[in-house]
Chain A
Amino acid sequence: MLSGCCWNKEAINADECRLLRPGDEELLFNRKKRFLSRCVECPCFIEDLRQRNDECDGLPGLFSYTIEELLAQRTEIRSLTSQAQSRNREIRFFHEVGQVLQTSVDIDEVISMALTAITSGKGFGLNRAILLLVDKERQHLKGHIAVGPRSREEAGRIWHEIEEHDYSLNDMGQIFFKKKMPAEKEKFRDLLEILSVPMSRNEHLFITTLNEQKTRHIKNLYQVPGIDLWQAENLGGGELLMVPLISKNRRIGLLLADNIINGRPITAEDVQSIETFSLPVSFAIERAGLYERLQEELAKVTAANIQLREQQELILRMEKMALVGKIASNIAHTIRNPLTIIGGFARNLMKNTPQEDAKHSYIESIVRETRRLEEVLEEVLSYSESLHPTFDWWDVNHLITAVFAGLRDDLQMSHISCRFNLEPNLPKAKLDYKKISYCLRSLATNAIEAMSDGGQIQIQSALCDNEIHITLTDTGPGMNAETIRAVTTPFFSTKESGSGLGLPLCARILEEHGTTLDIVSTEGQGTTFTIRLNISREDEHGPTIDR
């Protein structure tokens, strides 16, 4: 009973075996090879074998077990080979990505590389990856960036582009980092905002995953508790992989990945690979973040140093100029008085001497020459005055700090604590450093004297539109409306000591600066003084010194 099958022939023609494929020419003549590679899988052979089972002593029956086992082992070898290949690919891939992760201190470059690795076909090949990062103050888990197509059309376009160029993983990471990052951030902005969660929401799926430091592979997002419905809807509601990013027990962020476009199920291998991959990624992100903060601090310190040097130079110049002023004042006094006397009496004499008197012309000479000397003196003095650079662009915070540093002993002795709330990076304000310092010192002294039993002074600087507001609040006894009106009048003082000039002069100084002293007070609670300084550079008004 011979079937139409060819297993028992030594050599066959190509059309005799249905399982032969192109390149199988050798099998036409090699019966052993043909049998082992093709016949054992051929349904005709298996059928022949089955029919022979009924014959003789059942030896062919045992033979079929061997074949079954052979096929099973063959499948296993195939699967192991494929696994080995995939591991091999993974190692190469880790090496490529690892180099960037280990060397880059640019957080965006690290993130670009990591997310490209997750979403590219040469990496883990998932459709979409979303990165949420814990913010600096550890208050929020914030959507940072998402990578992937938003629609099937976009996916087709991107995949086609990648296929055409045959980019390496590293190339793709770099292209993403240098060209696509801002656009990608913008593209997913709404989603990133929706996915942000406060760290305090311990019951939230994201926060739980992060806190438990455990990867979650969710098959149906709608069926798990702890995620807001609209978040689940925006994520597509289907399968989702969530990998917490942890570096040395510190929570860095959360990585979400899915196959929203093609719907390919996420395999156990995907989960394991991405989980392994998340370790160097977490470390690299943390390191890059720290580096970024270090750079920021460094920049701040450098800027502060430059500013300090500038201010020191200015103060030095001011001191020099003050000295020049003092010398000028002395010269003025020693020369002007005699000139006034000589010229003054000469004029007086001239008035009483008739024109025709010969002495009249002599006296006239004295008057004229004194006048000339006075003019020269005036020139010298006005030059020395013009050297005074006090009205200039100054750093208000620096001024506040300097004034309060000078009051440290007074504050300590009076048991008064100071709380500073100074807005960083304020623009400079045009002011007379000496006068505004005096003003602030008067306000502080006033507050200190008002709080004889100790208390607190709060000093705040803030930018409000085109003004810098310096606010000084004390916890003193406060003033009633009448007193507030009166305090800027000279010699009104509720204190037994003191000249009673502090606040009136403050008001005058601020008037010079084109602003006013605002006082708000509640009896029994304290007083708030506000100085508003204009910073607009168009209106470069000088001090209104002449009155």
Chain B
Amino acid sequence: MARLLIVDDERDIRYLYAAELEDEGYEVETAGNGADAAELLKHHSFDLVVLDIQMKGESGLQLLQKIVKERTDLPVILCTAFSCYKEDFSSWLADGYVVKSSDLTELKNEVARVLKKKHH
């Protein structure tokens, strides 16, 4: 069973994503900020990180850089409220992108795609 880490500073988003992704059969952990996420990454193994770009404190992109540097094999999907994130060049390091929506089909598809790619 694939283990996912959801990082988002909005509590309800974390709950929603966790509920929906668990329904899909994934094992889900959540973190509300970059520091907590880094801590979890240090001590647990994950197959994928779902990362919010715009967070209070350390931004998702800063965390992304750290992850890519230290854990090159760990895929990351960026979640954002606004598709303009592509203007920021450092977002290109991610493996997938999802614009937030109440319909989580896109997120689920993206998670499945990236995990499948990872295992190939």
Contact = CB atoms under 8 A, between A and B. Distances in A.
B26 interface: no
A173 B76 CA distance: 81
Interface stretch (A2-10, A231-239, A343-351): A343-351
A385 B83 contact: yes
A367 B19 CA distance: 17
Interface in B69-106: 69, 81-84, 86-87, 89-90, 92-93, 97, 100-104
SS class, residues of chain B in contact with chain A:
helix
A258 B112 CA distance: 92
Contacts of B103: 343, 347, 371
A347 B103 CA distance: 8
A126 interface: no
B101 A348 contact: no
Q: Which of A340, A371, A438 has its CB near the most chain B CB atoms (within 10 A)?
A: A340
A381 B102 contact: no
Interface residues of B, number: 27
B89 A343 contact: no
A342 B81 contact: no
Interface in B37-91: 54, 65, 68-69, 81-84, 86-87, 89-90
A547 B97 CA distance: 9
A345 B16 contact: yes
A496 B104 CA distance: 42
Nearest to A370: B102
Nearest to A546: B86
Given A341-B16, A545-B86, A491 B102 contact: no
Contacts of B92: 505, 508
Nearest to A343: B102
A333 B13 contact: no
A206 B81 CA distance: 78
B84 A325 contact: yes
Contact of A340 (B84, B86, B101): B101
Interface string B18-32: 011001000000000
B10 interface: yes
By size class, the interface of chain A is: 35 or more
Interface centre among A337, A435, A499 (most CB of B within 10 A): A337
A329 B82 contact: yes
A337 B68 contact: no
Interface string A311-344: 0000000000000010011001100110111111
Contacts of A96: none
A538 to B, nearest CB: 27
A367 B103 CA distance: 9
A368 to B, nearest CB: 10
A178 to B, nearest CB: 58
Given A328-B84, A499-B65, A508-B89, A342 B102 contact: yes
A242 B90 CA distance: 72
Nearest to B72: A491
Contact of B12 (A329, A341, A371): A341
Interface in A337-394: 337, 339-348, 351, 367, 370-371, 374, 381, 385
A501 B91 CA distance: 11
Nearest to B19: A348
A491 B68 contact: yes
B101 A374 contact: yes
Contacts of A333: 54, 81-82
A381 B80 CA distance: 13
A490 B93 contact: yes
A71 to B, nearest CB: 105
Nearest to B89: A505
Contacts of A274: none
A337 B12 CA distance: 9
Contact of A501 (B87, B89, B97): B89
A329 B102 contact: no
A347 B10 contact: no
B69 A491 contact: yes
Given A348-B19, A374-B102, A337 B81 contact: yes
A341 B13 contact: yes
Nearest to A344: B16
Given A337-B13, A499-B65, 13 more contacts: A333-B82, A336-B100, A340-B16, A340-B100, A340-B102, A344-B13, A344-B16, A348-B16, A381-B82, A385-B84, A438-B89, A490-B68, A505-B90
Interface of A: 325, 328-329, 332-333, 336-337, 339-348, 351, 367, 370-371, 374, 381, 385, 435, 438, 490-491, 499-501, 505, 508-509, 545, 547
22 contacts: A328-B82, A332-B81, A332-B82, A336-B81, A336-B100, A337-B10, A337-B81, A337-B100, A339-B102, A340-B100, A342-B102, A344-B13, A344-B104, A346-B102, A348-B19, A367-B102, A371-B103, A435-B89, A438-B89, A499-B65, A500-B69, A501-B65
Q: Which 8 A-B pairs have the closest CB atoms?
A: A343-B102, A332-B82, A336-B81, A344-B16, A341-B12, A333-B81, A332-B81, A329-B82
